[in-house]
């Protein structure tokens, strides 16, 4: 979905600029340019990424919203990708808490994908959040943009919470980036019979920090 933007409100942040987030500057292959709409101060605040299935279950939706809300109430900025499913619920939870949230796009700022998230896009900006991307205006949401985008989601974060993930999932690409970048990975345990919890349960077996409440994240990431 294409939207008309007031381009004077877009901040262009170069890798060498003081405003460029330090956490992102130190990852492998940091984006040379960020395009930002909204509150640039969030880029250097305490942040947790919430990620998971696009076709999430009710259990996943409730937990993404719950943790988005709880983190925001605790003054932690919530990062996600404005995608369907877990991403959307995480952003919504943070907004409901009147907290801050950052959406990282796989397109230009003037193209909202999925289009049904146009309202959510506007709510993020209206609530002093931020929308960012490494892609210039007019860039379409190409399939290969999303794996690239995922390194920014994890790179901007102090930790990554996986709510739901299937066996073969784009979510795991973000987890791989997070581990490479030295971020804590958190996972919500799920029903062992649910395909949507396969990934989270496997992550826990492999050493991810199991999470049942927001303090499990805050005490490990922000001691």
Indicate the helix (H) or strand (E) that contains 35.
Answer: strand 33-38
Residues 67 and 161: beta-carbon distance below 8 Å: yes
Bridge partners of 11? 36
Tokens linked to 134: 């490494």
Instruction: Provide the whole-model pTM.
Output: 0.96
pLDDT at 137: 97
Query: Is 2 inside a domain boundary?
Result: no
DSSP labels for 153-205?
A: HHHT-SEEEEEE--SS-THHHHHHHHHHTT-EEEE----TT-GGGHHHHHHHH
pLDDT at 7: 85
Query: Is 217 inside a domain boundary?
Result: yes
Query: Is 113 inside a domain boundary?
Result: yes
Neighbours of 6 (CB within 10 A): 7
Query: Is 43 inside a domain boundary?
Result: yes
Mean pLDDT of 110-137: 97
pLDDT at 5: 83
Confidence of residue 8 (pLDDT cuts 50, 70, 90): confident
pLDDT at 170: 81
Domain assignment of residue 184, given as a range: 7-221
Total of domains in the chain: 1
pLDDT at 1: 76
Query: Is 1 inside a domain boundary?
Result: no
Q: Above 90 in pLDDT, residue 168?
A: no
Residues 6+ apart with CB under 8 A from 172: 165, 199
Residue 201's domain is classified under what CATH number?
Answer: 3.40.50.450
pLDDT at 56: 96
Query: Is 90 inside a domain boundary?
Result: yes
Percent of the chain residues past pLDDT 70, beyond the cut: 100
């Amino acid at each position: 979905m294409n939207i008309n933007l007031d381009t004077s409100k877009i901040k262009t942040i170069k890798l060498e600029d003081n405003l460029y987030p330090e956490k992102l500057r130190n990852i492998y292959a940091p984006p040379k340019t960020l395009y930002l709409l909204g509150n640039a101060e969030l880029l250097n605040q305490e942040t947790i990424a919430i990620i998971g299935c696009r076709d999430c279950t009710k259990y996943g939706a409730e937990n993404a919203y719950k943790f988005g809300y709880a983190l925001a109430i605790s003054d932690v900025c919530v990062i996600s990708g404005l995608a369907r499913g877990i991403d959307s619920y995480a952003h919504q939870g943070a907004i409901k808490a009147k907290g801050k949230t950052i959406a990282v796009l796989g397109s230009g700022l003037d193209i909202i994908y999925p289009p049904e998230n146009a309202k959510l896009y506007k709510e993020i900006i209206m609530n002093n959040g931020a929308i960012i991307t490494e892609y210039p205006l007019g860039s379409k949401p190409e399939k290969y943009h999303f794996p690239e985008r995922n390194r920014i989601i994890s790179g901007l974060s102090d930790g990554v919470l996986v709510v739901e993930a299937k066996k073969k999932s784009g979510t795991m690409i973000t987890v791989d980036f997070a581990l490479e970048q030295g971020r804590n990975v958190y996972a919500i345990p799920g029903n062992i019979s649910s395909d949507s919890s396969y990934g989270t349960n496997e992550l826990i077996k492999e050493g991810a920090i199991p999470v049942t409440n927001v303090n499990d994240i805050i005490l490990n990431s922000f001691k």
